[in-house]
Amino acid sequence: MKCPFCGNDETAVVDTRLSDEGDIVRRRRKCNVCDKRFTTYERAEIRLPQVVKKNGSRTEFSRDKLRASLELALRKRPVSADLVEAAIGEIEEKLLSSGEREVPSQQVGELVMRELKKLDKVAYIRFASVYRNFEDVDAFSKAIKEVSPSPRKK
């Protein structure tokens, strides 16, 4: 670590402490040349992949956009905020574990649909109707059959 005062490359760690949450390391350092002290902070940098849209443009993954999409589909549905947050966490975890630097927006949409299918069937149909661009009643019927329990045989 370079000294911010004299630019020397050789500094010594004098003290190390974890934050209360345990996710940040605070280090007190001392320059071996000018003897001045300074503090550095370390934290894990977790980068979600970029989203490649249908038109080829790239954008940063946005947790806020994801939440807004889920909340729009779940509007006036009996699903708690905790379950929505858990679904968002699940989607982010799948994107992180893919190890990819870029993912197509269609993949994100499919992950959203999978989570909505678990949370609320009506919200799933709402989202699917926009996401898959339903053009007629048959497309709705097919999606409804997809989430409807199959009839039991007697």
pLDDT at res. 124: 85
Q: In which element (H, E) is residue 88 found?
A: helix 81-98
CA distance linking residue 90 with residue 112, whole number of Å: 10
76 and 120 belong to one structural domain: yes
Spatial contact of 96 and 44, defined as CB atoms under 8 Å apart: no
Q: Which residues constitute the domain of residue 25?
A: 11-43
Over the chain (154 residues), the average pLDDT of each successive run of 10 is 93 91 89 95 84 93 92 92 91 90 92 92 84 67 70 56
CA distance linking residue 135 with residue 122, whole number of Å: 18
78 and 28 belong to one structural domain: no
Task: Decide: helix, strand or coil at residue 55.
Answer: coil
Spatial contact of 50 and 61, defined as CB atoms under 8 Å apart: yes
Residue 73 lies in a domain: yes
Q: How many domains does the chain have?
A: 2
